């Protein structure tokens, strides 16, 4: 069966997993051509530099570098932000919603190249294998998927490093420093090594551990004030300056990072059944979620706001589980978009030592009426009306108490 596969498109990052997969594919699929595809989702030039040379040296015939940043923000991040989707109260889905867009591009290239299979380097214990493969099933159900971690003899990252060293594959890390990381313009995740024991405190203050910012202890003693502007739920300006999504997130990562914002230590429930611990850096994302929710407080009516909270939980599960290309996700996005028609306005925030502090919110569509809400004398609210409301609202309780009175 292996000999029938002659051309393979590989999701390639140049990291440990995909560095060893190219020679492994060449060894196990006789005379196969391996086409590497690196997705630029904002992980930075440093992670993309030298990839073509590295891919070719390890056996790839060519390397595509797909610039997906703009589409990533507009078609994946903004819909998830508008839904206020947060997984298990903490995780802002940085890896989760990056996988469908990468897998979609893999499918497009595989079809254009006439490939027989798509290969990924996800482990058999992780969520990403599901996210990649559900996208492939949705967009190219006929495509063969190769997942080396589920079939090869390598059982650990240590063995993977030994395999790389025995095949003269250059690595920029060692067994002692090789946290498993995933970085894009939205976040950076850290897993493995000492983090596998939840009893261990992450080394936030150790030089080089945090990459997108500093710990709250190391943040400045003076706060930073910012104002974010939204139009129909989408952030459009920072401090009055119009910015595209990629630039806006970059600026917020810088501002949030230097103030120790968006650091999360989470033991999460993976889709595949186990608990896993990760440390996430999402400074810009944390700010955007906070600001968007603050604006919804004054622009959404109570029933929509409360119902949308339930939708947010479901939307987060769908994104986390890799079900982006499903009718339900599309339907929920349509509902969310309908709720965002009046989510327009400005949110002022104070960033200080890991905290995001509300400093004011305005909207031309605000449902807050100061004259109605005031504790001072007003001419629009008849407090005597509350008596009848309470009598009707409390009627079921009153009847039950009377009927069950012993």
36, β-bridge pairs: 10, 63
Tell which residue, 58, 275, 302, 285, has the closest CA to residue 168: 58
Tell which residue, 279, 93, 92, 89, has the closest CA to residue 197: 279
Q: Which of 99, 105, 131, 329 is catalytic?
A: 99
Give dist(CA 230, CA 340) in Å, integer.
Answer: 10
Q: Is residue 99 flagged as an active site residue?
A: yes
Q: Which of 19, 105, 116, 128 is catalytic?
A: 128
Beta strands across the sheet bearing 117-119: 62-67, 33-40, 7-11, 117-119, 144-146
State how beta strands 234-238 and 241-242 pair: antiparallel
Q: Which of 180, 215, 276, 366 is catalytic?
A: 180
**CB distance 220 to 226 below 8 Å:** no
Give dist(CA 52, CA 41) in Å, integer.
Answer: 17
Give dist(CA 188, CA 316) in Å, integer.
Answer: 18
Alpha-helical runs (H) found in 140-191? 157-166
Q: Which of 17, 40, 116, 182 is catalytic?
A: 17
Q: Is residue 277 flagged as an active site residue?
A: no
Q: Is residue 17 flagged as an active site residue?
A: yes
Give dist(CA 183, CA 110) in Å, integer.
Answer: 24
Give dist(CA 226, CA 137) in Å, integer.
Answer: 43
Q: Is residue 221 flagged as an active site residue?
A: no
Q: Which residues are marked as active site?
A: 17, 99, 128, 180
């Amino acid at each position: 069966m292996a000999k029938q596969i002659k051309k393979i498109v590989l999701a390639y990052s140049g990291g440990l997993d995909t560095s060893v997969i190219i020679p492994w594919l060449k060894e196990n699929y006789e005379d196969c051509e391996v086409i590497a595809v690196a997705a630029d989702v904002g992980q930075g030039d440093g992670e993309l530099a030298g990839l073509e040379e590295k891919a070719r040296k390890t056996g790839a015939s060519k390397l595509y570098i797909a610039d997906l940043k703009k589409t990533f923000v507009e078609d994946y991040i903004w819909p998830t932000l508008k839904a206020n989707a947060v997984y298990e109260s903490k995780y802002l889905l940085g890896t989760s919603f990056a996988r469908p867009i990468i897998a979609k591009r893999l499918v497009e290239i595989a079809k254009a190249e006439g490939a027989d299979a798509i290969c990924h380097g996800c482990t058999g214990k992780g969520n990403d294998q599901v996210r990649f493969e559900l996208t492939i099933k949705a967009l190219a159900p006929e495509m063969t998927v190769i997942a080396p971690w589920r079939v090869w003899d390598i059982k650990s990252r240590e063995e993977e490093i030994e395999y790389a060293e025995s095949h003269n594959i250059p690595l920029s890390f060692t067994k002692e420093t090789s946290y498993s990381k995933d970085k894009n313009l939205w976040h950076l995740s850290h897993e493995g090594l000492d983090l596998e024991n939840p009893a261990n405190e992450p080394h936030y203050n150790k030089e080089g551990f945090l990459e997108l910012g500093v710990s709250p202890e190391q943040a400045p003693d003076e706060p930073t004030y910012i104002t974010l502007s939204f139009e129909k739920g989408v952030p459009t300006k920072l401090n009055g300056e119009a910015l595209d999504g990629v630039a806006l997130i970059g600026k917020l990562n810088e501002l949030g990072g230097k103030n120790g914002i968006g650091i999360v230590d989470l033991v999460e429930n993976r889709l595949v059944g186990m608990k896993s611990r990760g440390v996430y850096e999402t400074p810009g994302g944390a700010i955007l979620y906070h600001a968007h929710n603050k604006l919804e407080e004054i622009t959404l009516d109570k029933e929509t706001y409360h119902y949308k909270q339930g939708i947010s939980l479901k939307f987060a599960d769908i994104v986390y589980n890799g079900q982006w290309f499903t009718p339900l996700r599309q339907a929920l996005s349509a509902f969310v978009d309908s709720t965002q028609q009046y989510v327009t306005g400005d949110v002022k925030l104070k960033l200080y030592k890991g905290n995001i502090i509300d400093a004011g919110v305005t909207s031309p569509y605000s449902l807050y009426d100061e004259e109605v809400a005031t504790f001072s004398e007003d001419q629009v609210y008849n407090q005597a009306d509350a008596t009848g409301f309470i009598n009707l609202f409390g009627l079921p309780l009153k009847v039950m108490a009377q009927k069950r009175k012993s």
